[in-house]
Structure formats: C-alpha cells, structure tokens
A and B are shown apart, each in its own frame.
Chain A
Amino acid sequence: MSTEAEKRVGHWNKTRGLMIVHLVIWFVFAFGIHWFAPQLNKISFIGFPLGFYMAAQGSLVVFVVQLFVFAKQQHAIDREFGMAEEE
C-alpha cells in the first residue's frame, strides 16, 4: 500500500500523460491536417473534397468524441488513485 504522497505523484504523472496524448490528437486535427488541405481536396470523401470536409466537419467530430473519451479516462485515473470525489 503506497502512501498518500506517492499516490498523488502517481495520479499527477498519469494525468499529465493523458493531457499530452489528448493535446497531440488535438494538434493534429486542429493544425496538422489543415496544412495539407489543398492535397486532401483531391480526395473525395462521401462526396466532399476531403480537405474541405475536415475543416467543415471532420475535425469537429474528432473534438466532440475526444472530450467524452477524455472525461471518462480522467475519471478512471482519479478513481484508480483514490482521488475521485465522493458520490
């Protein structure tokens, strides 16, 4: 059984790891993919030019799903280390 202080360190390390993973995904869909929009526009996706689609819809869908997943994952981390609120 680890001490409270160790648990807090473990909790924060995992929290920080999760933050980095989500910010990388965010970076790719916020910036990375739109840099290549002219090239992606040559590909057709359900009738849309892909570059336009990603800016008009694709990135947005990723963000919404990402936030629900993030909320779930962070709550799991909080519980794992006994840091969640009492319910």
Chain B
Amino acid sequence: MSIFRIEGAFIDNLPKIYALYTGGFFLFILAMAIGEKMGMSEDSIGIGFVAFTVVIYALIGWLSRTAQVDAYYVAGRQVPSVFNGMATAADWMSGASFVAMAGGIYMAGYPYLGFVVGWTGGYVLVSVLMAPYLRKFGCYTVPDFVGTRYGGNLARGVAVVVLIVASFTYVTAQINATGTIAAKVLQIPFGVGVWIALVAILLCAMLGGMRAVTWTQVAQYIVLIVAYLVPVFWMSAKQGFGYFPQFEYGAAVAKLADLEVLHQVGQLKPAQAVAGMSALVNSTAGAADDPIAKFRFVTLVACMMMGTASLPHILMRYFTTPSVKAARDSVAWSLLFIFLLYFTAPCLATLTKLQLLDPNLATSIIGKPISQVMALDWVQKWSNVHFLSVVDANKDGILQINEFFMRADIVVLATPEMAGLPAVISGLVAAGGLAAAMSTADGLLLAIANALSHDLYYKMIDPKADTKRRLIVARVLLLFIGAAGSAVASLRLTNILGGVAWAFDFAMSGLFFPLVLGVWWKRANRPGAIAGMVLGLGSGSWYLYMVKWGGMKPWYGLDDLRFGIVGAAVSLVAMVVVSLMTAPPDKETQDMIDEVRVPKGASVMSATH
C-alpha cells in the first residue's frame, strides 16, 4: 500500500483507486444480500455494514498519516477539484441532510423545502464572493484570513471565538446523529454510542489531519450517496414511477395530493401532542398564500445560504486545491455532488409517505385497523425505543392520519422497513447515515482544533514553536474537543436539524460580512471588523436566547431557526458604521487586497507560515 505515501503517484491514481473502492463496496453489498438469503440475521447485517465501512475509513486515515504542516492543515494543496468536490459534499452533507432533511419535508411539507434551496444556493455565494479569494490568500484557517486582512490578535481571536461557537454547536449535533445510529445498529445505550462514535471519528482525523480527512471524506461520499439513492430507486420501481423517479415523481406528488384529501389532511389535527414527534397532518406540496409564511420561507433560505458561505469547515476545504481556478471549479463540482442527494430528498419524502397512505399498497397503514398496524414489525421496533407512537384518539379502532406520530429524524432510517425492502437496504442506509455524520464531524473537529492550534497557539501564544510541537498541540486539542463534543452530545440538548440550523445562524451572524467585505470593500478596517463580529454574534445570541428561553415573541415569524437574520443585519450595520468612523486601512493592507483579487502570482501569505 505504499501508493498512499508517494503523493504524486497517489494523486495520479485517484480515479482508479476510488473506482476499485466503489466496486469493492458493491461486492460487499452483494455479499450481504446473499448472506440475507442464506439466513443471516438483520442485526448482524447492520453490524457488518457499519464495521466494514468504519474499518475502511480508519485504514485510509492511518495510511494518510503525516508529519508535515502543509499536509496536516491543507492536504498539501494538491487535491484535484473533482475529488475536492466529493470531499466537500461529504463534509457538507451531515446527519441533518442525510437523516433529518427528508424527514422534515415528510412531516411538514413545503416549508421545509427552504432547507433544500438554502443548502444548495449558498454555494453560489461561496464561489462568487469567497472561496477563490481565500484560496489566493493562502491561509491555513478562516481566522488566519481575518487576522491577516484586518491585522491584530484581537480580530484573529474574535474570529476564533465565532468559529468555535458555530462549529461546536454543529459538531454536537453530528456526534448525536452518529451516536443514534451506532446505538440503533449495535443495540447499545445512546450514551455509550456517542463515545464509540467519537473513537471512529478520531481514527480518521488524528494522524493525518486534513489529508486524512480529505481521502476518507471521498470514500464516505461514495457510501452515503449510494445509500441514499438505492432505496429511492427501489421504491419508485415498486410503485411504478419509473427508474428515474427524481424526474418522474410529479405523478406521485399529484397522487399524494388526492390521498391527502381522502385522509382529510388539513382538517384532522392531533387530539393531543406527543413530545418530540409529529403527525402527518401537513400537505406535501401546498404553499400557504400568506405573507408571514412566505417571509418565513425566504428568511430560512437566506439563513442557510449565508451560513453556508461563513462556515469555516466548508471554506477551508477550498484551501486544499492546487490553484484559484481549481477552487472555483471545485465549488461547482461540490454543488453537483450535493445536488444528487438534495434533489432526491423531496422525492424520498413523497414516495415514503405514499407507502403509508396509498391504500393500494400492501405497506399502507393509514385507514387500516389499529390492531393490524400495531402487529407490524417496524412499528413495534420503533415504538419500543419511543421514536414512534400510535394513539387511537377517537377510539374507532381505525388508524387516522392524526393518530400516527413519529420523530422526523428517523424517517430516512426507517424508510426501508416501512417500504418493506430487504434488511440489507436497512444496513446500507445505516452505513450511509453514519458516513454522512462522521464526515461532517471530522471536518468540524479539524476546523476547531486547527483554529486553536494554528491561530491561538502558534500565532498568538508561541510563534517560535517548531513543526513537531505544533502538530502535537493540534492532535491533543482534537482529542479534547472531540471529548467535549461527545460529553455535550450525550446530554441531547436539541434535535439534529435544530442544532445544525443554529450553527448556520451563529456563523452568518459573526463571520459573513467580515469575510465578504474583507475582499469586496477595501475601506473595511480592523475596528469595523471587530465590531461586526462582536455585535453580530452578540445580538444573534441574545435574540436566540430571548426567543427560545426568554419568552419573547418572535419578530415577524423570525423564530430560533432564523436568528441569523438579526445577527447578520446588526453585523453589517456595525461594520460599515464603525469602519467609516475610523481611519481607512494602511497602504500595505490595500495592496494586499489588490493581490487577493487576481488569481496570478504567489499567494499573499508565504507558503510555510
């Protein structure tokens, strides 16, 4: 396996290596399918999938170990744009995208499509406003850019704080998702699951830093996209919507709309609330013609987009490309790979809902006698762990739409069982969800540890530290932050989608305008940037606290998922006003911005800073 150590040869052989890997993965699925036919139990298939994939990631992590600063922080800046696109897609698509997003659409319908639009369109901002310029800058971390562009340890330090608040919120949600899957598959308590998950996550990142994370993320992307698409193709073929359901499920949406009328969706409301779960009482395609509903849709889109363009673990992926042009190409590839999952999510939500609602399908449960529904294997299994609940509110013995409750987070994981697909598909989906959550957790932990080791330790505390010492500090920090993340995740403070949305809002409140204006507005200066970060993050956090716990009525429907609108608006105003009230940046800084704006020439920061 020496190919992994000779960088040149390895980079040239990437397509071959990953083609072999993908082929191997399909062979493994086939082996598991044969195993199932021969009587392998559902549990051992699940364990097989999780163990097989995690061992491969750990192996890649070990083979990519490095002692070089450039390889550790930015993968040696030689990741080709297509592969960086795949790695970014895995880095990006977290437990929230894989596990929770389709579930949200399934439960709440159209309003949740705001996540789909926001989490793709954000890449337009990344490419047009940010990534190529940050690549030209040649920094190792996002605070590195802030610290150098605006100058001074205070600006750098504040950027580190924003990064940690946003990324840490995000990473606990990911460890939560990883732990949930580990707990389900291995049948262990959730509290143990999060620690096992942490070990698996650290195996990928500890030794090789960004280089190891890059190559495991590519492997994880392949697993997660296969795991997401296969059940959808299968359900579609079974239900007769063709082999490319993404283009043809219009008929399914129409059918669902008819069935929703039949099952009185919109009229029946749950008689009582079940904590943490919801009933299928919302129309899938219907959009309310009401200004507040529309405003809530576009503000959710805006928060997710601006958050995308400010999240350091995403921006730093574009530091690894060989050139500015490659960074730009790579953003386009990233979005293409992300698109494959995102345009499938509403389709999955629609087809899964049909499985339960369409009386012509054997799997339907709505309108069936409750005793019959309760006898179903998957209903029992998920109700035992309190993820699902059936309440016969009107005591007629028949399951109505407002009497079936489930947690949105489990919809994707439970889909193969609801649709009556073989156990091998359940195992595959669990492996996919794990890949999605692990890859994002890896990227986030690395972003936090790198900001602390590079910006706080090396740039602010001990600038004379040698390479070996810096890398040891980076690894020790990774361990501690991971442990802290697991400890917080085991408390389960919020659900997966909520935690992730908060991370986006924190990031946009503190970092969006300081980053954008740092490139696009020469007049932006240090006091302005500091004011923008401090007041943006401060006001956003205040608003979140007041709306979520302080009992304040949200302004114009801006609830806790959308507090970034308040934070970013304050940040913009503060940054512009303070910048204009204080002296413009010096000549040296202005020249630096001119250099950042053109791709040619050496990067602004020296190669081995």
Binding site for B on A (CB under 8 A): 8, 11-12, 15, 19, 22-23, 26, 29-31, 34-35, 37-39, 41, 44-49, 51-53, 55-57, 59-61, 63-64, 66-68, 70-71, 74-75, 78, 82-86
Contact = CB atoms under 8 A, between A and B. Distances in A.
A59 B121 contact: yes
B117 A34 contact: yes
Contacts of A59: 117, 120-121
Interface string B578-602: 0000000000000000100111100
A70 B127 contact: yes
A30 B297 CA distance: 10
**A38, A45, A57, A61: residue with the most chain B Cβ atoms closer than 10 Å:** A57
Interface string B119-161: 0110111011100100000000000000000000000000000
B328 interface: yes
B382 to A, nearest CB: 27
B285 A60 contact: no
Contact of B250 (A11, A46, A67, A85): A46
Contacts of B125: 26
A1 B600 CA distance: 19
A15 to B, nearest CB: 7
Contact of B328 (A12, A46, A70, A82): A70
B599 A84 contact: yes
Interface stretch (B268-276, B332-340, B559-567): B332-340
Contacts of A15: 597
B287 A29 contact: no
Interface of A is mostly: helix
A29 to B, nearest CB: 7
Contact of B124 (A8, A46, A63): A63
A22 B289 contact: no
A52 B339 contact: no
Contacts of A56: 113, 116, 343, 346-347
B358 to A, nearest CB: 17
Nearest to A78: B599
Contact of A22 (B128, B132, B288, B294): B128
24 contacts: A12-B597, A19-B129, A23-B124, A29-B121, A30-B117, A34-B298, A46-B247, A47-B248, A48-B249, A48-B285, A51-B285, A52-B284, A55-B114, A57-B346, A60-B116, A60-B117, A64-B336, A64-B339, A67-B123, A67-B332, A68-B336, A71-B325, A75-B325, A85-B324
A62 to B, nearest CB: 9
Given A19-B128, A47-B248, A52-B287, A60 B600 contact: no
A65 to B, nearest CB: 9
Contacts of B331: 67, 71
Nearest to A32: B298
Nearest to B121: A30
Interface residues of B, number: 54
- State the 8 A-B residue pairs at the shortest beta-carbon distance, nearest first: A47-B250, A38-B289, A55-B113, A67-B332, A37-B287, A56-B346, A48-B250, A52-B285
Contacts of A48: 249-250, 253, 285
Nearest to A39: B289
Nearest to B113: A55
Given A31-B301, A56-B343, A78-B598, A47 B254 contact: yes
B298 A31 contact: yes
A63 B335 contact: yes
Interface string B247-271: 1111101100000000000000000
- Which of B121, B251, B339 is the most central at the interface, judged by chain A CB atoms within 10 Å of its CB? B121
Given A38-B289, A64-B339, A85-B324, 11 more contacts: A15-B597, A19-B128, A30-B118, A47-B248, A52-B110, A56-B343, A57-B246, A57-B343, A59-B120, A60-B120, A70-B128
Contacts of A39: 289
Between A8, A44, A53, A66, the greatest number of chain B beta carbons within 10 A of the residue's beta carbon is seen for A66
Contacts of B347: 56
Contacts of B598: 8, 11, 78, 83
A75 B328 contact: yes
Interface string B309-333: 0000000000000011100110110
Given A64-B335, A68-B332, A85 B287 contact: no
B429 interface: no
A34 B301 contact: yes
Among A8, A66, A67, A75, the one with the most B-chain Cβ atoms within 10 Å of its Cβ is A67
Contact of A83 (B254, B287, B342, B599): B599
Nearest to A52: B285
B286 interface: yes
Interface centre among B117, B132, B254, B284 (most CB of A within 10 A): B117
B58 to A, nearest CB: 33
Given A35-B298, A52-B285, A71-B328, A85 B117 contact: no
A84 B124 contact: no
Contacts of A19: 128-129
Q: Find the residue from A35, A37, A39, A55 having the highest chain B CB count within 10 A.
A: A55
A26 B124 contact: yes
